[in-house]
Amino acid sequence: MKGKLLIAGAALALISSCSNMENPLLTESAAPFGAPQFDKIADEHYLPAFEAGIAEAKAEIDAIIANQEEPTFENTIEAMEYAGQTLDRVAGIFYNLMEANTNDKMQEIAEQISPMLTEYSMYVSLNPVLFEKVKAVYEKRNELGLAQDQMKLLEDNYKSFVRGGANLSDEDKAVYSKWSEELSLITLQFSKNVLAATNAYTLHVTDSADLAGLPDFVRSMAAETAAEKGLEGWAFTLQAPSYGPFLKYSENRELRKDIWTAYNTRAIGGEFDNTEIVKKIVDLRIKIANILGYETYADYALEERMAKSKTTVNEFIENLLEPSLPFAKKDVADVFAYAKKNGFEGDRLESWDFSYWSEKYQQAEYSLSAEELKPYFQLESCIDAVFGLATTLYGISFTELDNVPVYHEDVKVYEAKDADGSHLALFYADFFPRASKRGGAWMTEFRGQSIENGVEKRPFISIVCNFTKPTADAPALITHDELTTFLHEFGHALHGIFAQGRYGSLTGTNVSRDFVELPSQIMENWAYEPEYLNSFAKHYQTGEPIPAELIEKIVAAKNYLAGYAQVRQLHYGYLDMAWHTLTELPEAGTVEFEKSVLDKYAVMPSVEGTAFSCSFSHIFSGGYSAGYYSYKWAEVLEADAFSLFKEQGIFNTDVAASFRENILSKGGTEDAAVLYRNFRGHDPEPQALMEKLGLVK
């Protein structure tokens, strides 16, 4: 197209003429739908692919700069949008696998390419000639007759330059570049340390008496983990499917304390220490915010989100914390009272006691346990049910493919088709934990949706989880919590699958951070709807449907410990904002600072020497810095949004069609507040969340 320009010359000639032609990251994919060639990609391909991708991207930017024609939307803004596609593809594959299937070599490569990518980013964002071209188009934006998405793309590009230092002096640009490179490297080190610290710990049990209270599925998994590690007996790790059940079921209080302490001192001291790295990250973010003209990093980060300001976020957190705190304290008091009546001899519950006794209390109150429910949630049945929900609501279908390469044998690939049979996306699902995968669950993409020169690229969407693995004795049986997580990540996936638009930077999940959780969190609601659960939950051995009384207990227990859970989640958002509203580093150490922040709203006793900050990957190596509040923000959105499904019917296709049209397919083409009003007819109402959680007097 006109704005793309021809990029001949030495740079691209070199790229296309040498051994890179054999690099599966740089050659056209022969896999179905042009999917990534995971079966051909080796570690040694990454560095040359990044080098080639950066060279190509720079050549494309240089061509835009060298164009002597008057700057236009097409030859500047659109041309920039389509520049660097090779680099985007390579980075999309590499960094996704860094999270899901990493190794030491990849981590070494990440350290090598981090300064290269930072330098390229500065090459673009700090280029004065390029900025002047963008500015020239921006200043005449109202005369260009641009469509909604074009205007949004132009405004986003202009703001990105300004927020990226384009208005800085040459001297300040050099300083900004230096700090940005340092921040890139140190956040990478933070992530490496968390993974290494997580994998470094093993609770090795050789006496079967120490397994008291643990269900069979936990014992079987621990036996297999021990065998994998070459150990006798049973091994428990800090991976969620091992750590969580151990705390919940183990009768051995000392061992519970051991594993809890290990989890909550990850990356504090020792070989993988993050205590000083946290402060270095915060310091660099303060400096970067200041040099760009902002008082704090939160001021900088929130400018482009729905909340807009730190004042709004802090008021939002406080307004939920204050009324929730009495409910949280009552939750803890109720669990403690139950524990005292049933043999607990301590003066107070410690953190390593709470999960165990709250599980016991839940069983007593609701006669409900995760172990009792698991046989009804075989993973394969849950996959069919989650896909089936999408079929019911949106008419789409999923077909498993065996001819698309995967990056690990556990990964499954499906083709998503629309109601008319047209191709929507490839969907990758990676369910089980392993040492090469970080903890938690997330959605990502190997390629987003876009249209260029009239040709549409449909997305490659992926969800990555850490669900309970199958054992020698049973298939993969997941907990109800894991089902809820599955629905959550699948909601993100639908946001990517339904993407529509011309510009990849505005489609799918490319929305403000405090809006992106709406499509995921609204899906969790179906995990508590009897009509939905009845449609698929059957005992994996007998085929018997889940008993009605069990579903009643699931629904009745939905808000069990809702106050405690709400305050706990708000704690994380409060801590995040505390770090990112600093104007200078505190004199206190990382652990001490966290304690001073959270003690005000503590509902459990603090434990000396423990802290969450040093493993808080969301805010120190992920994308949620000054943004962790967005989970609760989105809960308000989804509670208000799901109330429309409750009014019209949880499988109502008209409501679903409106949600797809106004939210899921629109991406970031319009302001999030406008998109929400278009769907719901009004602004979100926070009271909807408090009522949903039963936190009202």
Catalytic sites, residue numbers: 489
Q: How distant is the alpha carbon of residue 307 from its chain centre?
A: 19
Helix (H, G, I), strand (E, B) or coil at 377: coil
CA 564 from chain centre, in angstroms, equals 23
Specify the residue for token string 């040694």.
Answer: 44
Contact 347, 325 (CB under 8 A): no
Q: Contact, 379 vs 431, CB < 8 A?
A: yes
Please state, as a whole number, how many other Cβ atoms lie within 10 Å of the Cβ of residue 638: 24
For residues 377 and 350, is the Cβ–Cβ distance under 8 A? no
**CA angle 272-567-676, nearest 5°?**
100
Pairing of strands 450-452, 460-464: unpaired
Query: 4 near 79, Cβ under 8 Å?
Result: yes
SS3 letters for 211-256? HCCCCHHHHHHHHHHHHHCCCCCEEECCCHHHHHHHHHHCCCHHHH
Residue type, 586: P
Burial group, residue 312, by CB count within 10 angstroms (0-12, 13-18, 19+): middle
- Give how far Cα 31 sits from Cα of 180, 191, 303, 404, 675, Å: 37, 32, 41, 6, 36
What is the phi/psi pair of residue 172, to 5°? -70, -30
Contact 314, 577 (CB under 8 A): yes
Across the chain, how many H-helices and E-strands are there?
A: 28, 9
Q: E strands along 359-466, which residues?
A: 397-401, 412-417, 423-430, 442-447, 450-452, 455-457, 460-464
Q: What is the 3-state secondary structure (H, E, C) of 618-653?
A: HHHCCCCCCCCCHHHHHHHHHHHHHHHHHHHCCCCH
Phi then psi dihedrals of residue 593, to 5 deg: -65, -45
**Which phi and psi angles does 457 have, rounded to 5°?**
-105, 120
Cβ-in-10-Å burial (0-12, 13-18, 19+) of 67 comes to middle
Residue 259 to residue 278: CA distance in whole angstroms? 23
Q: Is 477 helix (H, G, I), strand (E, B) or coil?
A: strand
Calculate the alpha carbon distances from 299 to 291, 293, 310, 625 in Å. 13, 10, 6, 11
The full length of the chain comes to 697
